[in-house]
Structure 1
């Protein structure tokens, strides 16, 4: 039924696009582009622009105001369907203020509800509404959860479909929209957004003491990229196109860590075409931010866990910058094809790191990614299983760990090695140009490859195994493993330690995060308490200020029920909210029977208020055994 329905939508797509005088971003209507994570019917009526005017109220933990939506509809369209999640809607009118009929459908626990508005000829609708305190995209932080400990903080995280909890729009990556916003906030706080600033860094002071900030994004973006933060924020420029926002106490450390960002922008532009977004600023959030980074246009959101003083984790910055091409410029049409964002970006990130820091630094990241890919393949299926989690194109959300990142990037690396870097780079640059500001599917990418790279070469087609990479489980035999001499040296020390050598002989001085991870992840999971105590004392693992190192050590300690590490676990898990670093700890605890399950439940009860709603929900499922 879905294929037949999608085919029917295809027939209506062309007339819809032809009506637009503003030339909105196209939508894809092929069967594989049908998004099952939205209630919208974009080929009947779609949102092309969102205008937000919202008041930020920390006391009630709500946003109140309106969303003005520009609509492009078929001549006979009677209604438009939007995505909402627990919004308190008080009125819907057309652009002139005339009331329109509307209703909110049944709530789906994952997708929220459909807001259906009878258009009555309207080309613009205005929705007056209020968010709920538990909105899944928003995290309201009390002062004690910030670096300064004096002022509250708020940030949004929209990917993949959380923005419908604060914006009534068509929340699908394939329905790109321009937008503008006005945020009114307490007078002692600053608002920032993933867009051009129209009101300066300090906004406009109002008579009641509050401040008003205005923003504009004139390029069509997928709606999950609409993002904002409000807090005690300061800015420091890093170059003509870049700078960093953060709380004052972290500003100098962040600026030091990210000093090479201008070199990264130059490297990325030299590789795959001009940077098309104007500025590239960064926002370092409190530790509860759930991801390493989020590629919000013009303002990448970053976790403070990457600030380690040695710039060894600036691959995260390179990754989010690369998203300015793969993800923000060319976007997966549905979340079934998330590898088109993350796999492309992980490959591109590595090329940026090679250009800025050299081949060995890039090889170190690629070698670790290979390790991660092999672990995920073993856990989620491997060559003998057919689960969708081991495919690049699969069910929404079924990513098999980080396979969309690691297997996806290795797919592109295989293409580079097979056809040659010069030919591959020329193709990929032209690909970004051809599909700029448009959605894409796996089928669309493979068709583009065949038309513009393979050009009817059957021998090359056979050699590349394109469909096997995209649609089959496991790892094709033409995968490329890049190895690092730096990590090989770590392997030598690891081998000696695993053979019974003393921990004091490891000599970790000057190690990067990647060297630490290679060593700690390579230690067999079964260890004696005496051996773990020796390791901890020699290397200072329980007290490590590097969040990656601490997380890897705690995974090992949990696997052995090593109770002397529990105070370190308690401190870490109640301070850091990055999912990549804390989810494995809860998973490990739940694998340790009643001992671990009891610790996990008590720890989560204490830490839950410090986690973003999406991370808390994921950990809840881990503890529930789902």
Structure 2
């Protein structure tokens, strides 16, 4: 039996960058209990009545920490639980915590603290069973200076206990969660109410902009409930964190963490909020048993995100076009992540496969871009593609949906493959068993997200479309609610549910789940929204720059501009004159939409525009979202003339980054 209902009592000491406190855990019949710890100083372990218990902390294993083995005095009777209390303090280098100096915040007046426990960093702040296979409810009491607001991934009691210049805040999480969803933030914060169960929190400097940007959150939540059933977590709040937060969002129950890079001023990044809302069902209520099955979290969530976002569009044809457009963007990102070619010692390149669009259908059907053969490829193409994804390739096992993580650090397992490949698989099955429905829907990269989403989209198409598949989804969500599961459980439930549908006999489970590289089948996507982007790309590549006019992009949605820039990134670098004309005429420089600015700066790096280097370095220094900083640092590393400057810039700023960002960037810059 695992840990049940821990209770955390934490005194946050900002001047010492550490926590002091104790964790109370209820344990079942056993003669010993093993907990995960990392860089914690264990002061004592005792029973509820104060009886001291013998314990032992093993030698640390690099990246994974130590075992805290507690010897129990007797075995309790079945059904009875012992309460043990571990008194401890954290180390200032705890990998789950980001301590920010006042000058790293917007207000510049107070320090700030936030946590990021996924995948295995909860052990650095709490003695716990740090695995998604174990779920627990929890209570917490957090003591902090009076001027600070404390938030957690739980229901917050507004009645705080005040004492001399400090206050104690109480929290309760009644729904079982895995350890990686324990989250904490402490700062001088304000909030605005968005709806009857939704708030947004941030420093006061961003609060009004945040409230406007995320004003539709309650509508997104209601749309999610129409597809997935009742929201189980009572409160859905957003916390806009300082820029060093390494992700777009983190689905902490009751309190989603989001990056300030979403504050685009046009609500165009709302899909990130929909994504995190969908985690309230897939990932939080139903959780991968371990991170070898991470696609069950992220592939499902991307798949549901796109269905829900499309459901908000009244015109069904436009809804399908939008869903397919965003799926194609994800497929494009997956292709960049999962596909890489190798350059041999003699400079020859190996073939790999690309996505090609044929008659409104997407297929994996031939070697890379025209001219991309060993004898025809330019040196610049070889350099670009070989540096595109420096550690993943078509045979890399980390591009499988179901991973083998023996000997692999969990931080290295996250990518976009489970997200998109899994989502695509579900779409395929939806179509297969009934045709179109009448309703719409080595490190962190696109692999778990996009490959997982593609898998699910494939399944959706396979079984008959959204109508049939939505019924299955609701059944699946109800059946496995509050459990941690693996891929075999999903597969068996799917096969049992659709047992009378002969179409499922077509599914090549081995290729989808256990084969590296791109998915074996791509759904029949509507490409009309991407066609306009492709036409503009061809215009830029073939016409003189004097023929560029702003009306080329004036009718584009933000995501179409993103797609236009992404397609340019997949071509040879632009000549400097043409690059600068694109930036000037299409008003890309200093764009407020971070997704657009990020791709523009990558184009500048690819073209080796030294005049843009200051802007590029400023961009990676002022925010720590790994989706942005990792590709840009890889581009800078490939730019030999500025490589050392990029490495020094990283070293100068790594103190301001979270552990996972530093860990992965060191790999990208070959510093590990």
**Structure 1 length-normalised TM:** 0.88
Q: How many residues align?
A: 573
Q: What is residue 451 of structure 2 aligned with on the other side?
A: 407
Note if 1:120 corresponds to 2:73. Answer: yes
Q: What is residue 482 of structure 2 aligned with on the other side?
A: 437
Note if 1:558 corresponds to 2:573. Answer: no
Q: What is residue 339 of structure 2 aligned with on the other side?
A: 378
CA distance in 1, matches of 2:666, 2:207: 34
Note if 1:257 corresponds to 2:303. Answer: no
Which of residues 43, 48, 54 in structure 1 aligns to 2:4?
Answer: 48
Note if 1:296 corresponds to 2:342. Answer: no
CA distance in 1, matches of 2:584, 2:550: 12
Note if 1:87 corresponds to 2:40. Answer: yes
Question: Which range moved further: 615-624 or 344-353?
Answer: 615-624
CA distance in 1, matches of 2:526, 2:612: 33
Which of residues 148, 151, 162 in structure 2 aligns to 1:189?
Answer: 148
* TM-fit CA distance, 1:277: 0.8
Q: Deviations over 1:445-496 (max 9, x none)?
A: 101111112x155x42322323321122234443215234333222221210
Contact 1:525 1:556 in 2 (8 A): no
Q: What is residue 205 of structure 1 aligned with on the other side?
A: 162
SS of the residue 1:624 aligns to:
coil
CA distance in 2, matches of 1:256, 1:464: 45
The within-5 A match list for 1:169-318 is 169-200=128-159, 203-206=160-163, 208-318=164-274
CA distance in 1, matches of 2:651, 2:574: 29
Q: Deviations over 1:401-421 (max 9, x none)?
A: 312111111111111112122
In structure 2, the CA distance between the partners of 1:186 and 1:509, relative to structure 1 (3 Å rule), is farther
Q: What is residue 562 of structure 2 aligned with on the other side?
A: 517
Which of residues 625, 634, 644 in structure 2 aligns to 1:598?
Answer: 644
In structure 2, the CA distance between the partners of 1:622 and 1:572, relative to structure 1 (3 Å rule), is same
Note if 1:337 corresponds to 2:293. Answer: yes
The within-5 A match list for 1:339-358 is 339-357=295-313, 358=319
Structure 2: give runs of 5+ residues left out of the alignment. Answer: 77-81, 314-318, 342-351, 354-363, 365-392, 406-411, 416-444
Which of residues 516, 530, 544 in structure 2 aligns to 1:473?
Answer: 516
In structure 2, the CA distance between the partners of 1:93 and 1:447, relative to structure 1 (3 Å rule), is same
SS of the residue 2:623 aligns to:
coil
CA distance in 1, matches of 2:169, 2:128: 22
Q: Deviations over 1:317-345 (max 9, x none)?
A: 00000000000000000000100000000
Contact 1:88 1:132 in 2 (8 A): yes
* TM-fit CA distance, 1:511: 4.2
CA distance in 1, matches of 2:556, 2:40: 49
In structure 2, the CA distance between the partners of 1:548 and 1:244, relative to structure 1 (3 Å rule), is same
Q: What is residue 418 of structure 2 aligned with on the other side?
A: none
Q: Deviations over 1:273-319 (max 9, x none)?
A: 11111111111101111100000001110001011011111000000
* TM-fit CA distance, 1:68: 0.5
In structure 2, the CA distance between the partners of 1:473 and 1:297, relative to structure 1 (3 Å rule), is same
Q: What is residue 428 of structure 2 aligned with on the other side?
A: none
Contact 2:98 2:113 in 1 (8 A): yes
Which of residues 425, 431, 438 in structure 1 aligns to 2:470?
Answer: 425
SS of the residue 2:517 aligns to:
coil
Q: Deviations over 1:421-464 (max 9, x none)?
A: 211111110001000000010111101111112x155x423223
CA distance in 2, matches of 1:160, 1:624: 23
SS of the residue 2:312 aligns to:
helix
CA distance in 1, matches of 2:248, 2:111: 22
* TM-fit CA distance, 1:501: 4.0
**Structure 2 length-normalised TM:** 0.82
Question: Which range moved further: 93-102 or 545-554?
Answer: 545-554
Q: Deviations over 1:65-112 (max 9, x none)?
A: 110011123xxx321111111001111111111111111111111211
Note if 1:363 corresponds to 2:319. Answer: no
The within-5 A match list for 1:132-171 is 132-171=91-130
Structure 1: give runs of 5+ residues left out of the alignment. Answer: 1-44
CA distance in 2, matches of 1:441, 1:465: 18
Contact 1:310 1:512 in 2 (8 A): no
Q: What is residue 31 of structure 1 aligned with on the other side?
A: none
Q: What is residue 32 of structure 1 aligned with on the other side?
A: none
Which of residues 397, 403, 416 in structure 1 aligns to 2:460?
Answer: 416
* TM-fit CA distance, 1:385: 4.8
CA distance in 2, matches of 1:487, 1:599: 37
Q: What is residue 98 of structure 1 aligned with on the other side?
A: 51
CA distance in 1, matches of 2:214, 2:586: 27
Q: What is residue 21 of structure 1 aligned with on the other side?
A: none
Question: Which range moved further: 607-616 or 238-247?
Answer: 607-616
Question: Which range moved further: 141-150 or 538-547?
Answer: 538-547
SS of the residue 1:64 aligns to:
strand
Which of residues 49, 62, 67 in structure 2 aligns to 1:109?
Answer: 62
CA distance in 1, matches of 2:587, 2:639: 25
CA distance in 1, matches of 2:624, 2:519: 35
SS of the residue 2:622 aligns to:
coil
Q: What is residue 461 of structure 1 aligned with on the other side?
A: 504
Taking only aligned residues, the RMSD between alpha carbons, in angstroms, comes to: 1.9
In structure 2, the CA distance between the partners of 1:501 and 1:350, relative to structure 1 (3 Å rule), is farther
CA distance in 2, matches of 1:88, 1:210: 24
Q: Deviations over 1:563-611 (max 9, x none)?
A: 1111101221111111101111111112223x23212212112221221
Note if 1:615 corresponds to 2:661. Answer: yes
The within-5 A match list for 1:55-74 is 55-73=11-29
* TM-fit CA distance, 1:130: 0.6
Contact 1:388 1:398 in 2 (8 A): no
